[in-house]
Amino acid sequence: MKLSRKRSRLLLLVLCVVLLAACQGESSILDPSGEGAMHIANLWWVMLIIAAVVYVQVISFLLLALFRRRNADGGGQLPDTGPPSKHARTFIVVNGIAIPIAILTFVFGFNLLTLVQLSPVNANAQLTIEVIGHRWWWEVRYPTHNIVTANEIYIPTDTQVELHLTSSDVIHSLWIPKLNGKTDLIPGQTNRMFLRTSEVGEYRGQCAELCGIQHARMQLFVVAQSPSDFEHWIEGQQQEAPAPADDMALRGQQIFLGAACVYCHTVRGTSASGVIGPDLTHLASRKTLGAGVVLNTPGNLAGWIIDSQSIKPGNLMPPIYLESDDLQALLTYLATLQ
């Protein structure tokens, strides 16, 4: 009896250590920064502790049942077909019915509480953002500010942000673990999701519904800024693309407008108004390319343009053949799209 108790305590300790180690992480649900994620993490811990205690209890019973001292076995003794003791029945009723009902009622109640805390009914959206899922990138629109961007959602801190989610093709799911639970992006309907955080920072998000060959590399960042920084960002995003300042950039713009780019991409302030791919008006201000696949550096951007298939195979951008001089000019132009 002592042995199994010790064993179960040791197990519990190991479990705790392991789990505490699991807490920290850039995308950990147990390291919440957003309001929704915080409520959920609290509920999680309550449920985990209860589950662990129940598990230890059940296993202790099992180990006791297996290894308890019994009278010396007469090998030829017949199997016991007698009626069970009253205690046996009580054991089943108490452990199988009474205790579970009590625990589950408590857990369900706590769960309802958390659900209410997360509920859209209690939320008064102060900022509405539209997110449209595409195969393998995120279109982000700010209808009140007339902004279109991609793969990044900027939000002010201490503001209830409501996301309207839909998809242009297959089902995706937006998940920013440190901020809130996930919600699906489904073509033909609009789902709502809420974000609210007090912590300035960058929060990684990822698609969480199998959407095709590059589902694994459909990421985005939510960038929470102070309200004043956010206003600053908005103003910048509302600008159209500036006219090219030097010859190289001008040549680059001409290449851009003359090549296949304009079939898929928009740069506001030019004639490019394609809608199949992300809006590039402020491409140079973005952290990553290809929805989080590589950092937005000139080398990576060059590689992406020439042959995005080798970086993110299966994505819908075809390779673009350019002479090296033309490529340099184009890169110079794209760098002006801040």
Partner 1 sequence: MTTTAPHSENEFHQPVSEETFARVWNDPTGIRGLLQGVQNQPIGIRLIGLSIFFLILGGIQALLMRTQLAVPNNTFLDPETYNRLMTMHGTTMMFLVAIPMIEGIGTLVLPQMMGSRELPFPRLAAFAFWTFLFGGLIFYFGFFVDAVPEGGWFAYVPMTGKEYSPGLGVDFYLLGLNVAETAAIAGAFELIISFFHMRAPGMSINRIPIFAWAIMVTGWMIIFAFTPLVVGSTLLELDRAIGTHFFNPDQNGDPLLWQHIFWIFGHPDVYIIFIPPLGIVATIVTVFSRRALIGYTFIVISLVSLGFLSFGLWVHHMFATGLPELALSFFTAASMMIAIPSGIQIFAFIITIWSGRPVFKTPFLFAIGFLLIFVLGGLSGVMLASVPVNLQTHDTYFVVAHFHYVLIGGWLFPIFAAIYYWFPKFIERMPNERLGVWNFLLLFIGFNVTFFPMHISGILGMPRRVYTYQAGVGLEPYNLLSTIGSFMVAASFVVFLINMIWSARNGQKAPANPWNADTLEWLPPTPVPPYGFREFPVVNSRNPLWEKAEEQVVEPGTRKLLDVLKHYPREYRAQIATSAIDARPLEVFRVAGPSIYPFWAALAIAVMTLFLVFSQYALAGVCLIITMFTLIGWHRDTGAYSKPDEEEAFEREYGVPLRPHGSRVIGRWGTILTIVTLATALGTLCFSYLYLRLKPPQWPPDGIAMPDPVLPGIALLVLLISVIPMRWAASALQRDERAGVQRGLLIGVVLGILYLVGNLLSYGQLGFNYQTQAFGSIFAIMAGYQLLTMLVIVVMGAAMLFWFVRATHERPSRHQAITDLVLFWYYAVAAGVVTYALLYIGPIVI
Residues 36-55 that bind partner 1 (CB under 8 A): 37, 39-40, 43-44, 47-48, 51, 54-55
Greatest Cα pair distance, the chain, in angstroms, is 101
Min separation Cβ 149 and partner 1, Å: 22
Task: Check binding of 1 to partner 1 (CB under 8 A).
Answer: no
Q: Interface with partner 1 by CB under 8 A: which range of 19-27, 223-231, 243-251, 263-271?
A: 19-27
Using CB under 8 A as the binding rule, the residues of this chain from 195 to 254 that contact partner 1 are 204, 206-217, 219
SS3 letters for 1-63?
CHHHHHHHHHHHHHHHHHHHHHHCCCCCCCCCCEHHHHHHHHHHHHHHHHHHHHHHHHHHHHH
CA angle 91, 92, 95 (to 5 degrees): 75
Which one of residues 2, 3, 66, 228 is an interface residue with partner 1 (CB under 8 A)?
Answer: 66
Task: Check binding of 180 to partner 1 (CB under 8 A).
Answer: yes
**Complex with partner 1: residue 121 or 271, whichever CB lies closer:** 121
Residues touching partner 1: how many (CB under 8 A)? 90
| Residue 316 and residue 276 in contact, taking contact as beta carbons nearer than 8 Å | yes
Min separation Cβ 130 and partner 1, Å: 15
Query: Which residue(s) pair with 207 in the sheet?
Result: 174
Q: Which residues contact 255 (CB under 8 A, 6 or more apart)?
A: 322, 326, 329, 330, 333
Q: Three-state SS for 153?
A: strand
Q: How far is CA 223 from the centre of its chain?
A: 13
Min separation Cβ 146 and partner 1, Å: 26
Which one of residues 119, 146, 273, 309 is an interface residue with partner 1 (CB under 8 A)?
Answer: 119
Task: Check binding of 28 to partner 1 (CB under 8 A).
Answer: yes
Distance CA 66, CA 190 (A): 55
**Angle, to 10 degrees, between the axis of helix 324-335 and the axis of helix 298-307?**
120
Determine how many CB atoms are found less than 10 A away from the CB of residue 254.
15
Distance CA 177, CA 192 (A): 16
Which one of residues 34, 35, 118, 272 is an interface residue with partner 1 (CB under 8 A)?
Answer: 118
Q: How far is CA 212 from the centre of its chain?
A: 17
Q: Interface with partner 1 by CB under 8 A: which range of 32-40, 225-233, 239-247, 296-304?
A: 32-40
Using CB under 8 A as the binding rule, the residues of this chain from 140 to 169 that contact partner 1 are 169
Min separation Cβ 26 and partner 1, Å: 4
Stretch 303-332: interaction string toward partner 1, x if CB under 8 A: ----------xx------------------
Which one of residues 125, 170, 223, 284 is an interface residue with partner 1 (CB under 8 A)?
Answer: 170
Which one of residues 3, 188, 228, 271 is an interface residue with partner 1 (CB under 8 A)?
Answer: 188
> With 0-12 CB in 10 A as exposed, 13-18 as middle and 19+ as buried, what is 275?
middle
Using CB under 8 A as the binding rule, the residues of this chain from 73 to 102 that contact partner 1 are 73, 77-82, 84-85, 88-89, 91-92, 95-97, 100-101
**Complex with partner 1: residue 209 or 279, whichever CB lies closer:** 209
Task: Check binding of 182 to partner 1 (CB under 8 A).
Answer: yes
**Angle, to 10 degrees, between the axis of helix 35-67 and the axis of helix 2-23?**
160
Task: Check binding of 3 to partner 1 (CB under 8 A).
Answer: no
Determine how many CB atoms are found less than 10 A away from the CB of residue 3.
9
**Complex with partner 1: residue 45 or 321, whichever CB lies closer:** 45
Which one of residues 127, 171, 248, 275 is an interface residue with partner 1 (CB under 8 A)?
Answer: 171
Q: Interface with partner 1 by CB under 8 A: which range of 107-115, 259-267, 303-311, 327-335?
A: 107-115
